[in-house]
Amino acid sequence: MKKCIAVLLALFLLSGSVYGCADSAANENANPGSRPQPNETVSSEATNGTVKEEPSDAGRTDSGSLADARRIQLTLSSGVAVDADVALPFAVDLSNLSTYEAKLKPQDFDKMVEILAPEKKITEKVTEFTAGSRLSDEYTYAVTEDGYSIMTDEEDLVFNGPLFNDKINSLFIPGGLDKNSDQYLTGKELGFAAIAQAQAEMNRVLKGLGISVGEPICYSLDYETLQSESIKWNEGITDETAAFLGIEPVEILPEDECYLFYYQLTVDRMPVSVYQNGISRDGSYTGGTSVTACYSKDGIFYFYMPYEFSDDLKKLDTQNGMDAEDALQLLDDKYNSVIMEGDYLVTGIEFEYVPQPVKDETNLFTLVPAWRFTIVHTYELAAKDDSGGTVPWTDTSAVVFHAVSGNELITDLGGI
């Protein structure tokens, strides 16, 4: 069960930019399904050619949570094309960027039950040994009378109901090649509750758990679209996949409609990366973090967060940082230094704080300011048959630069 949840999160972390970044969970007037009016069109000159900067609706709330929400369209001298929104939160002062030392915040199982399942009866509770947590060697798992599960190893936080396990987990696929999740970005108000009402309940839970987040992305999982996706899902089931993977048909009912909220976590009002970043002590990568939660007519039935940082931060230094144009110049220099094959397109430009584990420390991280570029590389591969022809292929990767030093940060999505 936990493995399935982790797979969903991993897909989410690769699904694209996270645009809203407010300074707290409690913004009950915000409507994550709404789309604001575009910013005023501006233009400027870049080192290598003209930058066409168009207004962008990337900021998803009328409160204007982004200081920089332009769309930049240009071609760098290296030949890399840029057609991307710039996501820079208002809280970020590029002339005064801090680097932080941070520790993970332990999750409290009893507090999870109190906030997420106050009226549910726990019928089974198990505590067992785990080697997967940086905070504890114990893993606590509980099941409620109505089939919900509550889990934590003090690092992660998992609250999971039957509707997610049996249906939503199969029909909402973030990051998929068929853009499955995009069809739910409609801002549609579902019959059982308005988006604002659902978000108010999310705000209550986030506040109760002490989790600081930016503005959410809200997906409206309506009955008609879920039903359409269930037909595709069921048609794809074969005897082999059913037997080997335990896949079962999904039947959607009108009461299965729900909202899915996706939040980027913040520290000191700064956005924490949702992506895989940095190298840990054993050579593995440090995963990103975020909050994914679902709300139906029965309330919150799914809540997942892999980890969060404590509010007790230590500022290591504060220096002048670079803006998006400066970072683009670094990207141009990088690609000018290599021989490129195929076409490269920058589709996302985000400011974020990247967690980097401190060597020989179990629970100590450096949070560094960074600019992330999402890059789509399209090229030709030799066909597998003997025709001598080629087939088109597309890879998506990321290049991340330290927003102060300009050094490139190693990530598992990086590379040319």
Name the band, by pLDDT with cuts 50, 70 and 90, for residue 66. Answer: low
Q: How far apart are CA 326 and CA 371, in angstroms?
A: 10
CA max distance for the chain: 66
pLDDT at position 10 over 60: no
pLDDT number for residue 285: 56
Report the alpha-carbon angle 267-275-287, nearest 5: 85
pTM above 0.85, yes or no: no
| 160-181 confidence digits (pLDDT tens) | 999 998 999 999 988 666 778 9
Q: How far apart are CA 221 and CA 292, in angstroms?
A: 14
Q: How far apart are CA 369 and CA 349, in angstroms?
A: 14
| 201-248 confidence digits (pLDDT tens) | 999 999 999 999 999 999 999 999 999 999 999 998 888 877 787 888
Q: How far apart are CA 57 and CA 103, in angstroms?
A: 35
pLDDT at position 184 over 50: yes
pLDDT number for residue 300: 97
Which among 103, 107, 99 is positioned nearest to 309, based on CA atoms? 103
Name the band, by pLDDT with cuts 50, 70 and 90, for residue 63. Answer: very low
Average pLDDT of the chain, as a whole number: 81
Name the band, by pLDDT with cuts 50, 70 and 90, for residue 6. Answer: very low
